[in-house]
Structure formats: C-alpha cells, structure tokens
Amino acid sequence: MSQRISIVSLGLRGDTQPHAALGMGLQQRGFDVHLVGSSRYAHILSGTGVEFSSVDPDIESLLASVDGQRLLASGQSAVSFARWIRRVVGPAVDQALEETAAAVQESDCFIYSPFALPAASFAERMGVPSVMASFVPAHPTREFPALGLRRSLGAVGNRISFQATEQVFWQVFRKRVNAWRGKSLGLAPWPFAGPFKETRRSAQPSLYCFSPSVVQVPRDWPNSAHVTGYWQLDPPAGWEPAQQLANFVDADAGPIVYVGFGSMVPRDSEQRYRLVRSALKKSGARGVYLGDPQQLESDDHIQVVPYVPHTWLFPRITAAVHHGGASTVGASLTAGLPTVTCPHFFDQPFWGARVHALGAGPRPVPASQLTADNLSDAMSTAISDGPMRRAAADLGQRLSGESGIDRACDVIECLLQPGTGAPASLSRTTVE
C-alpha cells in the first residue's frame, strides 16, 4: 500500500497552488496525496487524482471584509497586519481548526504552510513526521531581519526579530490552539514560547519553495532547511485559453503587460481598473488584467481575465505588474519578465525589494501610493530598460534550470523511504 501524505494549506491561492503542484509531484512518485485547503481553490486539483478537502473560512473572504479592506488600504505597516490578525483572523481560527480536524485523515506524513502550523499537532497525535513548507524565510538568521522590518537590526537584532515575530503570532492564537489540542486531540498544550523552537530543534526537514538565486541561503541556517526552488503548477491537461485572449496575446500590436494583484482586491475594483487602464495608455502598452470580466470591460487595449495560468501567459508577454506575493514573483521571474511590484503588506515588500536588488524590476510602488503616473513610469521602465530586461532574462534562465518540485519530493521521499538516498545538500547559491 502506498504511503499517504496530507498537505494542509490554509492560505490564499499563492499558498495553495504551489502546494497543489507539490502534491502532484508526490503523487507521480507513488504517494497517496490529500490536500486540505479553502473551498474556493478546490478546482485547482480537478482531474488530477489528488484528493481535496475544503475548510472555511478562507483568508480571501476575510480580506474582503471591512477590516480586511482597511488592512489593504493601510500600507505596509507590520503593526497594522498584527492588529488585523488579532481582531479578524483570531476569531476565525476556531472554525478553521474544527473543520481541518474533521477533514484530516490518517497519514504517514504532514506537510504544512506556516499559517497551518496546527497540522503539526495531527502529526504529533499520529506519531508521524511533519514538514513545514514555507514561501518566506522563517528560520532566524543574522543576515537579514524578519519580514515586516525594512532594515537590518544587526546580527543579534536580526535573529531576535524572527523570535519576536513568532511570538506576535503565537500569542494571538496560543489559547485557542492549546484549547483545541486538548479537547480535540488529547494533547498537552504547547509551552508559552510556542512550538516554533521545538519544531526547529527536531531533525525533520523544512522546505522553502523559493530560489537560492533570489534569496541567498543564510550561512547560519541548518542543513535541514532545504531551499528547493519554486513550485509551479502547469495548466491542467487539455486547458486552452479563451480564443479572444489568445488572439489578443498573439496580435503583433506592441508590448503587453500583465497586471494582477491576486487576492489583494480593493472594494472599489473599478477605480483600480481605471487607474491601470490609464497607466497602460500612458506607457504605450496593452494589458492583460486580472479581474471580473462581468464587471470590467475588455477591448483591443486591455483584456480582463478571471484567471489565466502564469506558466502559459508569462512567456508570451513583455512585463508583469503584481502585488509581489512569493508565488507570483517566482512565476514572473522564472519567465524572465521585468517585474513591477506593488506591495500591500506582509511578505510582499520583502519580495519587491529582492526583485529590485536583483536588477529585474524597478523600485517597488507601494499599493497605498499607487497612481496612474507612477505606475506608468514603472511600466515604461520595465518595457524599455535594456539592462533590466537582460538581468530579468538571465535570472529567468537560471530559475528555469531549477527543479524545485523534484528537489522537494526528494526530501520527502528520503524522510519516508530512507533507502532512497539523501537529497543533495543545502544549496549555498550566491545571488548575483
């Protein structure tokens, strides 16, 4: 009987989609894979054979709430994000924990995103290994500070910042999670300091699904932290773009810029659409815009799409503009696209700064400061700056040569089937 792996992903599309790609890779190696995530993303795995169980509420619906909209409008403040977590996400945790507990089944291993840390409790209850799969740096390091901090605090301060950030999140959820551990799983409460340190002390591996060519692996990270490269999900078998979109992309009518902000959708979506449309016109580019085609108009200048696979679209266009989420950054950089980031909060400012530091995109334009003029300027730079375009193309070539899913599967396979041989040692690639 094949070994069963449960992947628990309680985040947005940018979290769930790479986990789905990993699940498909593990399935191809003979594992029985079960993914737990938000109901709105169930279609991602349709027809793949990977089992999907839905849990609610989901983060996207919380971002659409009044408090979520305030967060998106507040800029890049770590304090605002922490307050939102406490006020909005905290009360939703009880429902998420109970629904996840009902969805989870007996497994030989649990893989979970940092926001789904309680999945480690299922592994503890069943006596099986668990593996954190993170889209952002989570191990403390002296080399840079925790996400949400804009400048280095020095070697000691940087390490402490990670521990402090962990505590901000853990103390919000501690009472709820510990009550659930006792009532539903019969487990002792985690200590006041939380489970993070104990998780790192264990010999079990952690996976980071970004590239060491984008974030140099810190020298003080343990060899159990595997920076694998990006996990990208290809379009499902038989997928074809709408004919109108295919014609738009294939037309020889000037540069095309993708503009999409993922789940960072403001309540006044028409106002942002008009801003983007104006910026495209000023820059002389056409656009593929992520939005609702029922509410926003498409024409020869702009095509509105509800969703299109990045792996199909990005190799066919000139530049990308997006919120700077980890997975979308990975997709645009892997395609060799000059990338404009418009960060809202959490990890997005970090990734935007990395894109700019690598020479693959202009300085980030914070979403709270977005105007038609500054977005147009950034688009024009991405379209016409020769050195930037060459830097993005060179980086894309390096990223395309990585096999992030294969490397992650090697780590899991070695954990569950030790006779398969140890995966390659932790990469120490130098970011150029």
Q: pLDDT of the chain along its 432 residues, tens only?
A: 689 999 998 777 778 889 999 999 999 999 999 999 887 877 787 777 789 888 876 666 656 555 555 555 555 555 566 666 666 666 677 778 888 888 888 999 999 988 787 789 999 999 999 999 999 999 999 999 988 777 899 999 999 999 988 888 788 788 888 999 999 899 999 988 888 877 777 778 999 999 999 999 999 999 999 999 999 988 877 889 999 999 999 998 999 999 999 777 766 789 999 999 999 999 999 999 999 999 999 999 999 999 899 999 999 999 999 999 999 999 999 999 999 999 987 789 999 999 999 999 999 999 989 999 999 999 999 999 999 999 999 999 999 999 999 999 999 999 998 766 555 544 444 444
* Domains of the chain by residue range: 4-230+402-420, 243-400
**Helix/strand/coil (H, E, C) string of the chain?**
CCCEEEEECCCCHHHHHHHHHHHHHHHHCCCEEEEEEEHHHHHHHCCCCCEEEEECCCHHHHHCCHHHHHHHHCCCCHHHHHHHHHHHHHHHHHHHHHHHHHHCCCCCEEEECHHHCCHHHHHHHHCCCEEEEECCCCCCCCCCCCCCCCCCCHHHHHHHHHHHHHHHHHHHHHHHHHHHHHHHHCCCCCCCCCCHHHHHHCCCCEEECCCCCCCCCCCCCCCCEEECCCCCCCCCCCCCCCHHHHHHHHCCCCCEEEEECCCCCCCCHHHHHHHHHHHHHHHCCEEEEECCCCCCCCCCCEEEECCCCHHHHHHHCCEEEECCCHHHHHHHHHCCCCEEECCCCCCHHHHHHHHHHCCCCCCCCCHHHCCHHHHHHHHHHHHHCHHHHHHHHHHHHHHHCCCHHHHHHHHHHHHHCHHHCCCCCCCCCCCC
Q: What is the pLDDT of residue 420?
A: 62
Domain 243-400 falls in which CATH fold? Answer: Rossmann fold (3.40.50)
Whether domain 4-230+402-420 has CATH 3.40.50.2000:
yes
In CATH terms, are 4-230+402-420 and 243-400 the same topology? yes
Return the pLDDT at 432: 41
Q: What is the pTM of this model?
A: 0.90
